[in-house]
Structure 1
Amino acid sequence: MTFCSSDIPIDSLQELKRVVELAKLDVPLPISFPLDDVHTLNLSNCGLSTLPIGFEKAFPQLSILFLSNNQFQQVPEVIGKCPHLQMVAFKSNQLTTIHPEALQSQLRWLILTDNQISTIPETIGRCTRLQKCMLSGNQIQTLPDAMAHCTNLELIRLASNQLKEPPMVLLRLPKLAWMALSDNPFLHSVLEAHADLKGLRTLEDLEESNDAAILGQGASGITRQYEYQGQKVAVKTYNTDIRVTSDGLPEEERRIHCAAAALDCSALIRVLGQTVRGSLVMELLQDFRAIGDPPSFDSCSRDVYSNDSLVHALTTEQAMTIVSALLQTLAALHEQGICHGDFYGHNILVCATDLNQVRLSDFGAAFFYEKGSSCGTFLERIELRAFAIFVKEVNTRLKEGESPLLRALVARCRKEEPSSENNFDRVYIWWKQTQLTDIAKEFGLGIDETVVEEKEAN
């Protein structure tokens, strides 16, 4: 039986027409349902607390739904009745619960950031296609065992919740590569251990001004350009009074920037000091561009590489240099118990005038963890997956064709180990040995390949 406007109660029909008006849809008048050609609805900032009866029938092809900054107290059941709905956003509502039937297998991208949700229904286990899940800024204390069925989940944000124990059900997921856990009770003691930043130099003669040119701004703070002692610098002022962002805690991001600067890795942005007000003073990157673009609606959790992306200009040698620097940096970070959490091409900056120069940016999702713990072992494996994904994305786009060495590196990162053996340090040792072996072969020399096994064993 075909659905039409006459099948809807008058009150609901008026509400559905109001939805069309609120979404500013360009449809012929008089409005006649169903609207088969509507794939995206943006109903953010509309003061809504419910969706009208017949919503799923009125928009049968709906695949993307934005309902952020409204007044919903529950993720409604009708969400699960929309057969093609892949992405739904309820950021910054008044949510306390999720209707169990709202969670169905068609969901790929779920955004529930900045609400008051305390529990996730067991029906989350139905979401076997879920790739990206944004849950930061809620009151979640535990996660259901059913999340073990979310085997396609690649990215999750759980910062600023009430997790008292590591979410092991998530850490064991086979495809998880990007994770944010900052500002949860089980990590608070680790963060407190990194509170001492006395070694950071205060640049008392650098005065901040709101008139300085803005380089960038986001939830965690604002970055402006200054000149200090004849040198252009970037100064980031952190929103330390903000507790909820999509990624993590701004104060933790600041501490991690400082801790990372002490590692003296070429791929990390140099921190020169801090202002009297506590803003971080960093080197200003000029002529640097992101190697990739953020994920699209279609790619969901994977970066997009346009035709003019710098990745297409890289030679194999330049790619090897970049990958080596980033691998060394990640090994150094994890040695200090730091997880970047957002290791993506769009956060990796390459100098357009010297493609050998690379910087790892954006520590917004980064967090400290307990090195040597079971949780830490899994976190390192998760970030290894992110690194492997990036290396593969670069390698498959090189202008000279794929490099067998980079392909081998991807395989090594994905190697399944029976215990805690697969980590950045071991992969880095293996990588340097592999490069030496390859160079030796070019010159007809022989290298004992058991050396790496002995080093890894130690």
Structure 2
Amino acid sequence: MHTLADLRAGTLAGSKRLDLSCGLTAFPDEIFNLSDSLEVLNLSDNQLSELPADLHRLKRLKILFCSNNLFTHLPEALGQCEQLFFVGFKACRITEVSPRSLPPRLRALVLTDNRLESLPDELGRFEHLQKLMLAGNRLRTLPPSLAACQRLELVRIASNEIRRLPDWLLQMPALAWLAFSGNPLNDIHTEEPIRQIPWSALTLHQVLGEGASGVIQQAEWQHDDGVTDEVAVKLYKGELTSDGSPLNEMAACIAAGQHPNLIPVLGQVFDHPQQARGLVMELISPRFITLARPPSLESCTRDVYGSTRLSLATVRRMAHGLADACGHLHRKGINHGDLYAHNVLWAEQGESLLGDFGAAAFYPDETTGQTLERIEVRAFGILLDELLTCCDGSDEETAVLRGLAARCIQPQVMKRPGFAEVLALLDR
């Protein structure tokens, strides 16, 4: 994190990124001293309610974060920023988005946890739009003009007031990741029975990981007979995430049941002293590692892989396991919504575990579910194509898998195979 003193002293000259969180109530004019270099500006966690009308003087600005501020409208100054493509105003107080506030090269718009009741029809004019994050607002519908955004791949509309998923949304040719839980959609799932594990039987140890929805810790679970098991405990936070409510995530985890390629859920925590909600899960061996890193600001909707190389047998086994897990979920009426390599744990021989149900949602109805499955199949096809990029197999050896990936990502949604057909093709 940078300081206002450093900015004023000129020690940040030439910087491409600036992070200022110091109780700002007004935009510091000294930021314009970086107009020839600044590409990423992070003004989150301040007290700002306006941006200067001449913000476009930051002529290289590509990415702007202004989350956790006091904005009540998306500043119109953004619309004049020619290079700006990533706009993040999460957890402000925004009730209005003017068409004039949208920059011409817009690829990612993050307005999670605001007070929006509508969006402008002009949003459909932004042909480069790939990511639209609107969870935790008051939207009853989306502008039909968005159907023209043919590159839109990721949509987060959880925890709004939407009563029906628009038909045009479900037919978007590039859509692969959709989160919509917490809307009044009359979903068709039923409560699954699950073992109740008293908090007093758990002894928590080191933190294994922390995400937007909760904290995972290694723990000991002492059974009634005195036997102790090493487990992982996830305690959920109450706050809204970019994907939706953590409690919806927990419900989906429970409803998913058991599958060899899902992280096993052993029970639900009860009688927590602060009434926290949580799950007890199997402790995963450290030989499993995360397959990739989440998308970068530049890649927008694509995971970032390291130098990992995979054998053809490993790719085949991972593809089969993940397709089988997704087929299992969809048979239970669950859309995962975030089928990405960064949510996959894998081991060297191709064993894989799909995790992170933060974007999961239950089918609103069976007919919509068939379409949701084909949308998720596109996400699978993208993941398979990425695995093949890391694969040591020759073009001839990988030709069949590449053909399968192409079928999964084709733009006509209902012409994609379902997961049962994907599995049948992989079995051949």
TM-score normalised per structure 2: 0.86
- 2:356 maps to which residue? 362
Cα distance in 2, alignment partners of residues 125 and 160 from structure 1: 22
Q: CA contact under 8 A between 2:41 and 2:65: conserved in structure 1? A: yes
Q: CA contact under 8 A between 2:295 and 2:302: conserved in structure 1? A: yes
Q: CA contact under 8 A between 2:382 and 2:409: conserved in structure 1? A: no
Q: CA contact under 8 A between 2:95 and 2:116: conserved in structure 1? A: yes
- 2:269 maps to which residue? 275
Cα distance in 2, alignment partners of residues 395 and 330 from structure 1: 19
Cα distance in 1, alignment partners of residues 79 and 6 from structure 2: 20
CA 1:429–1:372 in 2, change beyond 3 Å: closer, same or farther? farther
Q: CA contact under 8 A between 1:347 and 1:360: conserved in structure 2? A: yes
Deviates more, 1:356-365 or 1:269-278: 269-278
What SS does structure 2 have at the residue aligned with 1:254? helix
Q: Deviations over 1:77-129 (max 9, x none)?
A: 11111000011110111100001111243011111111001101011012110
CA 1:20–1:118 in 2, change beyond 3 Å: closer, same or farther? farther
Cα distance in 1, alignment partners of residues 31 and 269 from structure 2: 59
How far did 1:383 drift?
A: 0.5
Q: Which amino acid aligns with 1:201?
A: R
- 1:297 maps to which residue? 297
- 2:52 maps to which residue? 52
- 2:378 maps to which residue? 385
How far did 1:369 drift?
A: 0.8
CA 1:219–1:208 in 2, change beyond 3 Å: closer, same or farther? farther
CA 1:222–1:33 in 2, change beyond 3 Å: closer, same or farther? closer
In the alignment, is residue 400 of structure 1 matched against residue 393 of structure 2? Answer: yes
CA 1:133–1:175 in 2, change beyond 3 Å: closer, same or farther? same
Q: How many residues align?
A: 398
What SS does structure 1 have at the residue aligned with 2:196? coil
How far did 1:411 drift?
A: 2.6
Cα distance in 1, alignment partners of residues 119 and 132 from structure 2: 12
CA 1:377–1:398 in 2, change beyond 3 Å: closer, same or farther? same
Identical positions, percent = 39
How far did 1:147 drift?
A: 0.3
Cα distance in 2, alignment partners of residues 131 and 328 from structure 1: 28
How far did 1:31 drift?
A: 8.0
- 2:93 maps to which residue? 94
How far did 1:203 drift?
A: 3.2
In the alignment, is residue 26 of structure 1 matched against residue 12 of structure 2? Answer: yes
Cα distance in 1, alignment partners of residues 180 and 31 from structure 2: 46
Cα distance in 1, alignment partners of residues 372 and 100 from structure 2: 31
The alignment's C-alpha RMSD in Å is: 2.6
How far did 1:417 drift?
A: 6.6
What SS does structure 2 have at the residue aligned with 1:257? helix
Cα distance in 2, alignment partners of residues 19 and 380 from structure 1: 53
CA 1:50–1:119 in 2, change beyond 3 Å: closer, same or farther? same
Q: Deviations over 1:305-326 (max 9, x none)?
A: 111x3xx1x2111211111111
What SS does structure 1 have at the residue aligned with 2:201? coil
- 1:253 maps to which residue? 249
In the alignment, is residue 215 of structure 1 matched against residue 211 of structure 2? Answer: no
Q: CA contact under 8 A between 2:171 and 2:413: conserved in structure 1? A: no
Q: CA contact under 8 A between 2:13 and 2:33: conserved in structure 1? A: no
In the alignment, is residue 424 of structure 1 matched against residue 419 of structure 2? Answer: yes
Q: CA contact under 8 A between 1:44 and 1:70: conserved in structure 2? A: yes
In the alignment, is residue 333 of structure 1 matched against residue 308 of structure 2? Answer: no
How far did 1:223 drift?
A: 1.4
Q: Which amino acid aligns with 1:283?
A: E
Cα distance in 2, alignment partners of residues 74 and 392 from structure 1: 40
Cα distance in 2, alignment partners of residues 114 and 415 from structure 1: 33
Q: CA contact under 8 A between 2:85 and 2:103: conserved in structure 1? A: no
Q: CA contact under 8 A between 1:94 and 1:116: conserved in structure 2? A: yes
How far did 1:245 drift?
A: 1.4
Cα distance in 2, alignment partners of residues 419 and 350 from structure 1: 30
What SS does structure 2 have at the residue aligned with 1:213? strand
Q: CA contact under 8 A between 1:107 and 1:129: conserved in structure 2? A: yes
How far did 1:148 drift?
A: 0.9
Give the 5 Å matches for 1:30-429: 35-57=35-57, 59-186=58-185, 189-190=186-187, 193-194=189-190, 196-197=191-192, 199-204=193-198, 207-208=201-202, 212-228=205-221, 229-239=227-237, 241-242=238-239, 244-261=240-257, 264-277=258-271, 279-286=278-285, 287-307=287-307, 309=308, 312=309, 314-351=310-347, 354-373=348-367, 375-402=368-395, 403-414=398-409, 422-429=417-424
Q: Which amino acid aligns with 2:422?
A: V
Q: CA contact under 8 A between 2:7 and 2:31: conserved in structure 1? A: no
Q: Which amino acid aligns with 1:43?
A: L
What SS does structure 2 have at the residue aligned with 1:133? strand
What SS does structure 1 have at the residue aligned with 2:366? coil
Q: Which runs of 5+ in 2 are unaligned?
A: 15-28, 222-226, 272-276
How far did 1:142 drift?
A: 0.8
CA 1:80–1:246 in 2, change beyond 3 Å: closer, same or farther? same
Q: Which amino acid aligns with 1:393?
A: E
How far did 1:378 drift?
A: 2.2
How far did 1:230 drift?
A: 3.8
CA 1:36–1:234 in 2, change beyond 3 Å: closer, same or farther? same
CA 1:204–1:138 in 2, change beyond 3 Å: closer, same or farther? closer
Q: Deviations over 1:413-439 (max 9, x none)?
A: 24577957732223323332xx2xxxx
Q: Which amino acid aligns with 1:409?
A: L
Deviates more, 1:404-413 or 1:285-294: 404-413
Q: Which runs of 5+ in 1 are unaligned?
A: 1-17, 436-458
Cα distance in 1, alignment partners of residues 213 and 71 from structure 2: 26
